[in-house]
């Protein structure tokens, strides 16, 4: 019997039928990866339908423009535009495609949005599947831009568009930055674990923190952070936080710890290993947290369910108690349960 990969081409749009030959909907096929068919909808979307979906997605974000110049304009399946993410940093658009099957769709939507919004530059980050097989980033319009400055509330932030992670910044953490900015952190000592380019640390500094220790394993991220998000109270530490002792991390104690580890898995069969890693991480956090201190635990994979994370943290962080979960940002609104990947949980 032939496999699906022998019958279909990557990127082929499929008419999906049930066992009684009734139309279920339409999808786009990809041989590699965990998602074989990305959902296009119950009816076949033509260009006008795609344009309508894009307009709707842009319309939903209009209010955010008052707060920030950096917005996720298209959030993949949650906006009915599968596998395509489009972020805006002021005059620069960055389109990302999460499967080569939707490369054409991503470029089409990116170019359309660029024209409608009069963006000066459009970059495309193709899927990075395995080392050596991903295509390099491409400039689809305008001149190459390696980094861009943008306003977010009272913060002036920089996104590393060239070598950075995601589209350049973790836009989904905007709510946590806003939360930190709303606090009075005067005199507080903050440990910002998995800091990437240090934008959360900068928000804490602005809220009055006396000390912000930013830790990450990536030398490039730390260097970018130091250059663009530095300040008198900030320090930068390179450390693998998931293996071996935290030999480089000053022992504290800290009044506030922000921990935002990488997903560590996209596969459900690795869940136990990931949870064991979290247990170890949060035990360490507990050791360096000052009495009466607060811990914010982020988890950015939908493979770890919020209930599992809650029960792990409830047990490891005793006597700290769960204080609440931050809602997703409006431009990252999950359109279906599996898209609700980001958990930001407060313990104090």
- Give the residues lining the site for ligand SAM (CB under 6 A): 165, 170, 173, 194-197, 199-200, 216-218, 221, 240-242, 260, 262, 300
| Cα distance between residue 211 and residue 208, in whole Å | 9
The residues that bridge with 341 in the sheet, in sequence order, are none
Of 264 and 289, the one with the shorter C-beta distance to ligand SAM is: 264
Task: Quote the least distance from Cβ 197 to ligand SAM, whole Å.
Answer: 6
CA atoms of 346 and 147, how far apart (whole Å):
32
How far is it, in rounded angstroms, from Cα 6 to Cα 318?
Answer: 54
Closest separation in Å from C-beta 322 to ligand SAM: 20
Tokens coding 185: 């952190």
Of the candidates 217, 253, 213, the one whose C-alpha atom is nearest the C-alpha of residue 234 is: 213
CB of 194 to ligand SAM, least distance (A): 4
User: Toward ligand SAM, which CB reaches closer, 57 or 257?
Assistant: 257
Residue with Cβ nearer ligand SAM (5 or 219): 219
Contacts of 333 (CB under 8 A, 6+ apart): 60, 75, 78
Q: Minimal distance in Å, beta carbon 37 to ligand SAM?
A: 28
189-193 and 211-216 as β-strands: parallel, antiparallel, unpaired? parallel
Nearest distance, CB of residue 144 and ligand SAM, angstroms: 23
**Which C-beta is closer to ligand SAM: that of 41 or that of 134?**
134
Residue 267: count other Cβ atoms within 10 Å of its Cβ: 11
Task: Give residue for tokens 């602005």.
Answer: 206
At closest approach, how far in Å is the CB of 66 from ligand SAM? 22
**Residue 74 or 159 having the CB closest to ligand SAM:** 159
Q: What is the dihedral of CA 284, 288, 292, 294, to 10 degrees?
A: -60
Q: Which is nearer to ligand SAM, 28 or 204 (CB)?
A: 204
Give the CA distances from residue 112 to residues 71, 83, 251, in Å, rounded to whole numbers and listed in that order. 17, 17, 51
């Amino acid at each position: 019997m032939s496999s699906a990969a022998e019958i279909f081409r990557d990127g082929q749009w499929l008419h999906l039928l049930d066992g009684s030959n009734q139309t279920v909907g339409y999808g786009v096929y990809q041989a590699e990866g965990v998602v074989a068919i990305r959902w296009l909808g119950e009816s076949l979307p033509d260009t006008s339908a795609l344009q309508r979906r894009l307009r709707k997605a842009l319309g939903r974000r209009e209010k955010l423009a008052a707060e920030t110049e950096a917005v996720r304009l298209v959030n993949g399946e949650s906006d009915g535009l599968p596998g395509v993410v489009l972020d805006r940093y002021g005059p620069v658009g960055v389109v990302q495609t999460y499967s080569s099957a939707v490369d054409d769709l991503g470029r089409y939507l990116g170019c359309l949005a660029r024209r409608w919004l009069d963006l000066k530059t459009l970059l495309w980050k193709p899927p990075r599947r395995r080392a050596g097989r991903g295509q390099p980033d491409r400039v689809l319009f305008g001149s190459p831009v390696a980094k861009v400055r943008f306003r977010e509330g009272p913060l002036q932030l920089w996104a590393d568009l060239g070598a950075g992670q995601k589209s350049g910044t973790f836009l989904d953490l905007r709510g946590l930055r806003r939360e930190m900015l709303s606090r009075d952190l005067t005199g507080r000592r903050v440990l910002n674990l998995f800091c990437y380019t240090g934008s959360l640390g900068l928000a804490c500094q602005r809220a009055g923190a006396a000390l912000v220790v930013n830790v990450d394993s990536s030398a490039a991220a730390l260097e970018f952070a130091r250059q663009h998000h530095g300040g008198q109270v900030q320090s930068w530490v390179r450390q693998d936080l998931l293996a071996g002792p935290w030999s480089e991390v000053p022992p504290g104690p800290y009044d506030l710890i922000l921990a935002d580890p990488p997903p560590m898995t996209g596969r459900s069969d690795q869940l136990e290993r990931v949870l064991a890693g979290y247990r170890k991480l949060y035990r360490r956090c507990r050791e360096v947290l000052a009495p009466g201190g607060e811990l914010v635990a982020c988890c950015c994979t939908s493979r770890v369910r919020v209930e599992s994370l809650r029960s792990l943290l409830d047990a490891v962080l005793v006597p700290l108690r769960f204080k609440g979960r931050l809602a997703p940002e409006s431009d990252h609104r999950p359109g279906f349960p599996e898209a609700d990947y980001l958990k930001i949980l407060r313990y104090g």
